[in-house]
Amino acid sequence: MIDLNLLNKALMLSKEGKLQAAEKLYHELLEADGENYLLLSSVGLFYVSLGDFEKAEEYLKKSCSIKETLGSVSALGFCEFEKREFDRAALTLEHALEFGENKEIYNKLVLSLFQIKSYKKAVEYAEKMYELYPEDADATANMVKALTQSGKLGEAEKMCVEYLKKHPDKSSLWFHLGFLKELIYSDDKQACECYKAAAELGNNEAFYNIAVSYQKMKDFKTAEEYYHKMLSIYPNDVDTITSLGMCLLTQRKFKEGYDYFFRRDKSVLDRKTNNPYRPGEKFPEEVVVMCDQGFGDHIQFARYLPFLQEKVKKVHLAVSDNLRGLFEKNFKKINYITFDEINPEMKSMRITDLAYILDMDFDHIPYSGGYIKSKMADIVSDKPKIGLCWEAGNAGIRTMINRTINIRLLEPILNLDNIQVYSFQLRDTLKGNDRYNQMINLAKDFKNFEDTARALNAMDIMITVDTSIAHLAGAMGKKTFLMLPYVSDWRWFGDTKVTPWYESVEIFKQQDPISWEEPIKEIICRINESYS
């Protein structure tokens, strides 16, 4: 049975900062009664106080296996959170709420859910936390984040500003206000100042957003400095590693950029394979290539598959059913498989890493004239046929807003008398297909990319934002007007007119981060020049 007097003595020694003596006493107690859940929990909390989360987790897990309590389960969740194991932390902290509740459990649960992109649950728990603790800074910050995620940007900004008037020392609110300055006003300078205020108040994660702001302002050198500052604090932070890689790739720094970008989050794919190929290794006889990231990435980097086939005897390609049919017709002698059919022991690589693995830098981009062929859909019109896609999906809110154009801004194109516009917009959150009867909705009949390609082949011009349609049209050699935001994705290299990836793509890029007026005017002029 545990000696409570000795346990209290250990606790007192810890509070007095006599850590070595406390640790020694804790281990003496464990030798006498190593299966006592209360003792194990106390030892776990002791290591939490030391910041040794590995040891803390070990003792807390053992404590919970004997008897779960609010303290032991929540402390285990806190350990997982501090180790940035957010998926596990979310499960543990949600379970902790079954035993009781406090602000810190809610806070770390909400933050974990946002990290793993479980947005619906994150919003639900943020609302619950704010309901219980309306004056708390973390509850307010999480509610601001929930409103932002729900698209209620004005409400989020108002709540943020009002709280900061009363409590100007709250770093999390300065952080969120910076993000709102980005989203609402595209004001990266003001956003950067807010992030700096957050950093000065102790929010280390603000260094990442400061880096993003400088990158968006095209001050790449300063952006790199802040990314490295973030990595000096969180050396394994995948988002920072990935973003630094993309910052370098934007500048066409192929090797340096890919050295970081290659280390991006691959947790989903790693669950399918335990034998990743590393650049510089000898090529195996067989390899499985996994299509990672979005459909546009799959299409863009599929051009490298024939060059990989020259290096290995057999390529197995794990690709979504949406693309499989189109790829099978264009990339022969490949064994197409589902993700469930991946042999975990086979050497594996991601399709977006093929240029890096094959050492084919940005001065040697192959097949810019096109590499995907398709049959043509039977679409009849006595006017030139113009495809239109205005909304990007399946991305974080910062990226999605940056790569989406309000359909209302495109009315001047829709109202041109000398063309017929066809919608290629699948995820139509802006309801453009319902609002504009002069546009024929083809997307409603698309079941896969073969359908999309056939329809594209029938168009005279494709007008699109930066989404998978842009890559498919370019890969088919279809004349394409690509509308790029002021701060575009790394793969466009800051180019403003043409791109080395696709000869048939003409870029119309924002010159002002808050206006699409000039690019749209230019597109209308180009259409009228061709079809007046």
Instruction: For residues 330 and 83, give the distance between their C-alpha atoms in angstroms, rounded to a whole number.
Output: 44
What does the DSSP 8-state code read for residue 345? T
Q: Mean of the pLDDT values across residues 262-282?
A: 81
Tell me, yes or no, whether 393 lies in a domain. Answer: yes
Q: Is the pLDDT of residue 396 over 70?
A: no
Q: Tell me the mean pLDDT in the region 352-372.
A: 97
Give a yes or no: residue 464 inside a domain. yes
Q: Is the pLDDT of residue 65 over 70?
A: yes
Would 450 be classed as within a structural domain? yes
Q: What is the pLDDT of residue 268?
A: 59
Burial classification of residue 199, based on how many CB atoms lie within 10 Å of its CB (0-12 exposed, 13-18 middle, 19 or more buried): buried
* Number of domains forming the structure of the chain: 2
Q: Virtual CA dihedral for 80, 82, 85, 89, nearest 10 degrees?
A: 50
pLDDT in tens, 191-216: 999 999 999 999 999 999 999 999 99
447 contact partners, CB below 8 Å, separation of at least 6: none
Residues 310 and 397 in one domain: no
Q: Give the pTM.
A: 0.82
Does one domain contain both 338 and 428?
A: no
Residues 342 and 389 in one domain: no
Digit-coded pLDDT (tens) for 173-192: 999 999 999 988 889 999 99
Q: Which amino acid is at 337?
A: I
Work out the pLDDT band at 57, boundaries 50, 70, 90: very high
80 assigned to some structural domain? no
**Domain identity same for 313 and 427:** no
**pLDDT-derived band of residue 48, with 50, 70 and 90 as boundaries?**
confident
Judgement on whether residues 289 and 390 belong to the same structural domain of the protein? no
pLDDT of residue 85: 92
Residues 422 and 321 in one domain: no
Strands in 147-291 per DSSP E: 286-290
Q: Are residues 342 and 417 in the same domain?
A: no
pLDDT digits (tens, 9 = 90+) for 490-507: 999 988 999 999 999 999
Clarify whether residues 525 and 426 are in a common domain: yes
CB 371 within 8 A of CB 326: no
Assess whether 277 and 350 both reside in one domain: yes
Q: Is the pLDDT of residue 395 over 60?
A: no
Taking the alpha carbons at both ends of the chain, their separation in whole angstroms is 93
Q: In this structure, what CATH number is given to the domain that contains residue 465?
A: 3.40.50.2000
Quote the CA–CA distance of 508 and 329 in Å, as a whole number.
32
Q: Which ranges constitute the DSSP H helices of 116-170? A: 119-132, 137-149, 153-166
Average pLDDT over residues 8-13: 82
Separation CA 463–CA 439 (nearest Å): 13
Residue 210 in tokens: 């400061």
pLDDT digits (tens, 9 = 90+) for 95-152: 999 999 899 999 999 999 998 889 999 999 999 999 999 999 999 999 999 998 888 9
Question: For residue 332, what are the domain limits?
Answer: 268-357
DSSP code at position 275:
-
Q: Check residue 281 and give left, alpha or beta (phi > 0: left; psi -120 to 50: alpha).
A: beta
Has residue 508 got a pLDDT over 60?
yes
